[in-house]
Chains A and B, each alone.
Chain A
Amino acid sequence: MSSNAAVTLQGVSKKYCRSLKRSMIYGLTDIARDLVCFPARVDNLRAEEYWALRNISLTVEPGECIGVIGPNGAGKSTLLKLVGGIYPPDTGRIRVRPRVGTLLEVGAGFHPLLSGRENIFINGSILGLKNQQIRKRLDEIVAFADLEEFIDSPVKHYSSGMYVRLGFAVAAHLNPDVFLVDEALAVGDTAFRIKCINRIAEMREEGTAILFVSHSEMQVRMAASRCLLINHSKAETYDYVDEAFLSYQNIINESNSAGELAGHADYYSDVELIDVKLKMPYAGDLLISGDPINVQLRFNVHTPVSDAHIIMRVWTAQGELAATVNSRDAGTSFNLPCGEASINIALDQLPLVPGKFRFAGGLLQKNRIIAWSTQLAWLHIKSKSGQLSTEGIMALSAQFEMKSRTKGIDIPLHGNIIS
């Protein structure tokens, strides 16, 4: 472990108590033991206690931005509070550079009656800055927050957007060694969010280590160099943001598919779906992005159906609709006589990003559902070689070309500009 890391966590755990009453009792006994320098035994859980974070180790170098991701209640905010020294750890050791800027809550520490300017000075002092240092950065902060007009009015008259802008501007311009951000950019307009992401990049160049909690995948992807995925009190670091999000998706899939198996909604009236077969170039439920796929549905038809059409939907693991195919759009409808019938849906390519996808679909007559399954199949898409991005839903391949105009002559250029 390098000694000049900005943040070092070694085997850090934190436990919470479910019951308020017991929490108070435990708190008092722990305090009593602290006071007589005989700290409580921390490795075992007492009644109603649970681990909020268990055995976390992490090193953050100056200039790094760690994206902290994970489901709700996984312990992300607790981690930031431990690093900020607001809560004590129950096991392990945390070492942090002295000046820690926190943005755990928008406008934390703002006094409503004071003007924006006065609040900047107070927040700066909380961060351990001298008045002179704050004064030097004041104009920058005001300009960044875009509040020149309102900087001398009390912040209680600010809109929530202005609050966010001022909060971020102050925390991000006072040159902290470590910057802890918890969902602070969830509010605010797009232009400001982009400004913030750019500011985070600048802070990294200035040597600030950043822990960035966000549920916005795009923000983490743009801001973070590495990721810490926290799930069920355990954490894992990923050197590549893509990897982290793939694992995160798998976690979501697990919880989703568990839920879906329980509430697996199928509806059949005159027609019953008896089998789904996927035909793919390779065996298993694995498909390379961009490969063709055939979905074969076998039905048991109890009553003849005429003029039916088939719909199939592709969902991402997060429950976003990726695509829909509808036989009616292709001008195809089916007349199903009694007995068994099989319908084949051929997709000549499925250009999806790597990850898990779910097929849902069924038969409709006019707008009446005859048979429907929310879970025809799960599909695991693997990336094509050389294709790295897992952002978004579609995997596109692109060629890049640049043209530039010099001295009135069009020169088509490929690759590097040579002059």
Chain B
Amino acid sequence: MRTDINRMINPSANDSIYEPGGDQRPGLGVWPIMLKELWDTRELIGRLALRDISTRYRQSLLGYLWAIIVPLITVAIFTFLTSKRVLPIGQPPLPYPVFALWSLIIWQLFAGVLSSCTQSLAAAGSLVTKMSFQKEALVIAAAGQPLFDFIIKLVLVIVVFTYYEVLPATQSVYIPLLLLPLMLLAVGLGFFFSIANLVIRDVGNVVGMIATFGMFAAPVLYPPPVTAPYFLVNILNPFSPILIASQDLIVHGELRHADLLWGAVVFAVLVFLVGWRVFRLVMRRIAERA
């Protein structure tokens, strides 16, 4: 017989309050609260991400090798097509397989996080409608598995770089910092798409198409174009500046288009914050109609 006295006498300041209109605390004061709540759910996010990672390949023979197989085949095909001049492209600053592989895994990280976050709520099923917790944990945790795949792919990258005797510039160590706005952008978009996908499942298909064909709208399999109007893919696609920055760091060891990069970073942070806030405001109304 253990009576929790604290619980009996302490009127708790962090009681949850539910009122019409969702999470309606207006103004900037809401951000510290949201950040604190996010920090409080860090263990849950970690658990859910671990869950996705450990179940992803549990019923498969090749397991984690699958993370490597797809980029390997894609790069092999495109290397063949370009070497036979089927696809005439400009001269990349690195041997083509090295360039294509690096850009491809960066794209796959972005596309993987985007589609995984989009599917996260729909895939969670009864977790959304039958359990009580901060649902953004599901979306954020969905980024874990593509990130893990990315790390496996880095092994392949090391092998290919070594084979072609390419030594990346020392400044490449800053690349992890570039991954942060990349992830923020993908998760931020994922906030919007995941709730939309709960109501209209077409959204998932559209995002799947973006993940497949979107890479042609960024300098992934071809070097960043310099002629009009093609150079627009470097600017209009918010993913491109981050990708180009990573290529520049490896090849030149410096940011050649810093202004573009900063624009993309600001854009990514904005998308994330707005997406997160919108998610908070509408999540319950959506859960009701899921």
Whether, in the assembled complex, A207 has its beta carbon less than 8 Å from a beta carbon of chain B, the answer is yes
B281 A34 Cβ-Cβ under 8 A: yes
Contacts of A81 in B (CB 8 A): 129
Contacts of B51 in A (CB 8 A): 111, 114, 118, 122
Given A34-B281, A125-B44: A85 in contact with B15 (beta carbons within 8 A):
no
Contacts of B8 in A (CB 8 A): 4, 62-63, 207
Report the interface size class on chain B. Answer: 35 or more
A94 B24 Cβ-Cβ under 8 A: no
CB-nearest residue of chain A to B47: A125
In the complex, which of the residues B14, B44, B130 contacts A102, with contact meaning CB atoms closer than 8 Å?
A: B130
Name the interface residues of B133-187: CB closer than 8 Å to any CB of A.
133
B47 A122 Cβ-Cβ under 8 A: yes
Whether, in the assembled complex, B76 has its beta carbon less than 8 Å from a beta carbon of chain A, the answer is no
Taking Cβ atoms with an 8 Å cutoff, the residues of A that contact B are 3-4, 23-24, 27, 30-31, 33-35, 37, 39-40, 42, 62-63, 81-82, 84-98, 100, 102, 104-105, 108-109, 111, 113-114, 118, 121-122, 125-128, 130-131, 177, 180, 205-207
Q: How far is the CA of A72 from the CA of B132 in the complex (A)?
A: 23
B22 A88 Cβ-Cβ under 8 A: yes
Q: How far is the CA of A104 from the CA of B20 in the complex (A)?
A: 22
Given A91-B20, A127-B133, A207-B4: A34 in contact with B289 (beta carbons within 8 A):
no
Given A39-B20, A93-B17: A100 in contact with B132 (beta carbons within 8 A):
yes
Contacts of A27 in B (CB 8 A): 199, 285-286, 288-289
Given A35-B281, A37-B24, 8 further pairs, Cβ under 8 A:
A39-B24, A87-B284, A92-B20, A96-B17, A114-B51, A118-B51, A126-B44, A126-B131
Name the interface residues of B19-78: CB closer than 8 Å to any CB of A.
19-22, 24, 26, 40-41, 43-44, 47-48, 51, 54-55, 58-59
Given A4-B10, A206-B4: A109 in contact with B130 (beta carbons within 8 A):
yes
B15 A98 Cβ-Cβ under 8 A: yes
9 A-B pairs with CB atoms under 8 Å apart are A89-B19, A94-B19, A96-B16, A97-B7, A97-B12, A97-B15, A102-B131, A125-B47, A206-B3
Contacts of A127 in B (CB 8 A): 133
CB proximity of A175 to chain B, nearest CB, Å: 8
A85 B11 Cβ-Cβ under 8 A: no
In the complex, which of the residues B10, B17, B18, B55 contacts A113, with contact meaning CB atoms closer than 8 Å?
A: B55
Which of B7, B8, B55 counts the most chain A CB atoms within 10 A? Answer: B7
A105 B10 Cβ-Cβ under 8 A: no
Contacts of B129 in A (CB 8 A): 81, 86
Given A37-B26, A130-B43, A131-B43: A205 in contact with B127 (beta carbons within 8 A):
no
